[in-house]
Amino acid sequence: MHKVLSSLTQSSMLHMAGGLVDADKVSHCIQLLQSSSPSYLLLSSLDAARAQLSENGKYFDDSVAMALETKDQLMVIPGVSVLDLPCFASDFPAIYP
């Protein structure tokens, strides 16, 4: 969330939905990697970013729109290469209630 939203660097969330991943295996891996003393400052920043997105998702939508516009402008500059994958279409970043 710190790359797009307003949480602090080194903070992150893992979202799992549906059956695409084995939740037990992910849980086991997380237990191997996570700290026994979590940073409440980082957790608070994640919660604040989540609340900000929940209250006003327009911030995220605006950021995505600006990124897509920048990509389009860069693609017309001779000698500049831009990663343009179909999965980065404008409907890719969707927020579901």
Report yes or no on whether pTM surpasses 0.75: no
Q: Which of 40, 55, 54, 34 is nearest to 8 (CA)?
A: 40
Mean pLDDT, rounded, of the chain = 82
Alpha-carbon torsion, ordered 12, 3, 93, 65, to 10 deg: 160
pLDDT tens digits for range 44-68: 999 998 898 888 878 778 887 898 8
The one-letter amino acid code at 65 reads: A
